[in-house]
């Protein structure tokens, strides 16, 4: 006969499973059903879900076995091991409180104003090897994104200009109205799932997004606290 401890273990597992299921329903967008396995499959665009994919499918099988072998409310035949219960409870906490976008962003962010000098940008590239730089106008509002590709192109075009002095070249001179880099601003309270959804949305429309800039409230008039690119998302590591 099952003991009170054994019963509580099964109940703990089922409770944690339901917490994860609820978090998946909240997190995974555009799923056709609320079925647990469908949510996991659809949600694989999220690094976190993809990382735990095998565990989630195994937990779904175990949950079905436990539920189907429940004799009555609070009475189970099948009992999961304690280490499994502790693992799924840890996962439930992580799914309910995912990492913030700022925690995985590249920071600090090197940004410039249009009146700054190209030489200053090159000095930062030499020091940090960064390749994307938010540029702000004289009013302190985000104006455009300067990338290393535009810098290389500008330098190549002026390679034969012996009179060019990098200390006299303003950042504004590198602006190209024919180039429009897609940038999205989010607040520092934004979660990593929301940022991944932004990248997924652009990808579904066959559009490229250069990055997500994080500011205090998500305003383009605030200086950046962090920036996330597709490479940052690929490098996200999840530790158990």
pLDDT digits (tens, 9 = 90+) for 86-139: 999 999 999 998 888 998 899 999 999 999 999 999 999 999 888 999 999 999
Domain with CATH 3.10.580.10 in the chain: 103-234
Residues of the chain with pLDDT under 70: 1-8, 69-78, 235-240
How long, in residues, is the chain? 240
Q: Is the peptide bond before 108 cis (omega within 30 degrees of 0)?
A: yes
Q: Is 50 helix (H, G, I), strand (E, B) or coil?
A: helix
Task: Name the fold adopted by 103-234.
Answer: CBS-domain (3.10.580)
pTM of the shown model: 0.76
CA distances from 56 to 40, 111, 195 (A): 7, 41, 22
Which pLDDT score is estimated for 69? Answer: 62
């Amino acid at each position: 006969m099952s003991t009170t401890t054994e019963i509580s273990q099964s109940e703990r597992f089922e409770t944690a499973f339901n917490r994860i299921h609820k978090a998946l329903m909240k997190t995974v967008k555009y799923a056709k059903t609320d079925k647990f396995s469908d949510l996991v499959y659809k949600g694989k665009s999220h690094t976190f879900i993809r990382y735990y994919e095998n565990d989630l499918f195994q937990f779904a099988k175990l949950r079905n076995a436990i539920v189907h072998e429940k004799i009555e409310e609070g009475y189970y035949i099948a009992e999961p091991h304690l280490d499994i219960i502790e693992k799924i409870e840890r996962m439930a906490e992580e799914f309910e409180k995912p990492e913030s976008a700022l925690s995985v962003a590249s920071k600090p962010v090197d940004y410039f104003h249009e009146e700054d000098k190209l030489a200053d940008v090159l000095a930062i590239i030499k020091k940090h090897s960064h390749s994307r730089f938010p540029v702000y106008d004289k009013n302190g509002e985000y104006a455009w994104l300067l990338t290393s590709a535009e810098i290389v192109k500008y330098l190549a075009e002026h390679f034969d200009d012996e009179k060019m002095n990098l200390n006299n070249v303003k950042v504004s001179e590198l602006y190209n109205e024919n180039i429009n880099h897609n940038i999205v601003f989010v607040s520092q309270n934004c979660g990593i799932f929301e940022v991944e959804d932004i990248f997924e949305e652009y990808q579904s429309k066959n559009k490229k997004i250069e990055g997500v800039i994080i500011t205090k409230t998500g305003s383009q008039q605030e200086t950046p606290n962090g920036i996330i690119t597709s490479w940052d998302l690929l490098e996200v590591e999840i530790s158990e």
